Each structure stands twice: as structure tokens, then as C-alpha cells.
Amino acid sequence: MRTSKGIRVAAVTTALLATAFAGTASAQAPQRSALGIEIGLGKQHAKQQVAALFDRWNAALATGSPSTVADLYAPNAVLLPTVSDEVRTSRARIVDYFETFLAKKPSGRILSSTITVLDNNTATDNGTYRFSFSDGSTVDARYTYVYEKVKGTWLIVTHHSSAMPEK
């Protein structure tokens, strides 16, 4: 009996180790995100991927389509917008905000950014940006994006933007 138990323990241990190493190998194999960027290659690579999400959002602004911009937000997202006092907590209210905002033909540019990758599915981007509008005006603002990977795609779950108080 003792030999039988010892063999079983060894077999179970070997199986667990094999599973663990197989999981490690597959976790290191490059995967592609919705942006076509390889993921799973370290925090620096993940930070680059998150940085590209602002470019995706800014490109959505350039389409002039409020729905296209709203598609980048999770269904339960919260938007605290730059040029509105209303907290937006539904897709309809987010679309409503962008109908007004996009009429000004905005284009954003990051001035400073601090990206924190919390885990494989959550990241934040905090910093400052400048919006330029078709009438020649600009607004500098502070921002926070909280991103969450939903079904393999990074979506905005929280977006806070407020005009710089010194301006």
C-alpha cells in the first residue's frame, strides 16, 4: 500500500507540475489584442498597449460619430466630461454628451501621462491633455481613464476629465 500511495502522490505531483509549466508556456506565447498588439510580454509592453488606447479614442472623435466614440465605453461606464456638469452613466447619456462635444470638431493631444497596469485586465491612464477645436480655441484638462478588458477588448469603464483650474 505504501508504494501505491507513493506512486500516486508522485503521479499527481508530476501532473500538477506539467500543468503548471504548460500554463506558463501558454501564458508566455504572444496573443494579439483588439488593436493587433501582442500582449502577455510584460508591463512595459502592456503600458504601450494602454497608451495606444488614447489614440484609438482620439481617432473615434475624428469620425464625428457619437456612437463610434460611445462604443469605446463599457456598458456600465461612468463619464465625468470636460465641458459638462452632468455625470454620464448610460450609453444614451454618453452619446448625448458626444453629440454636443463632437460638433466642435475636437482633436486631443496628450501633454503628460502616467499609465499603471493593475493586472492583465485593468489599467489606468492619468495625465493632462489639450483639446483643439475648429474655431481655433483650446482647452487644457486633467484626465483619468480606467480601462478594463471586456471579452478581450479594452473598454473605458471610468473617464474623468476636468479643465485645468489655473486656466
The CATH number of the domain covering residues in 33-163: 3.10.450.50
3-state secondary structure of 92: helix
8 Å CB contact between 78 and 88: yes
Instruction: Give residue-wise pLDDT tens across range 8-48.
Output: 333 333 333 333 333 333 333 344 444 444 444 577 888 99
- Give the C-alpha separation, 13 to 10, whole Å: 5
Q: Please give the pLDDT value at position 45.
A: 81
Instruction: Give residue-wise pLDDT tens across range 72-126.
Output: 999 999 999 988 999 999 999 999 999 999 999 999 999 999 999 999 899 999 9
**Is pLDDT above 60 for 67?**
yes
3-state secondary structure of 21: helix
Instruction: Give residue-wise pLDDT tens across range 119-154.
Output: 989 999 999 999 999 999 999 999 999 999 999 899
Sign of the dihedral through C-alpha 27, 31, 34, 35: positive
- Give the C-alpha separation, 119 to 39, whole Å: 12
The pLDDT confidence band at residue 2, using thresholds 50, 70 and 90, is very low
Q: Where are any strands of DSSP class E within 91-152?
A: 107-119, 122-132, 138-150
The pLDDT confidence band at residue 166, using thresholds 50, 70 and 90, is confident
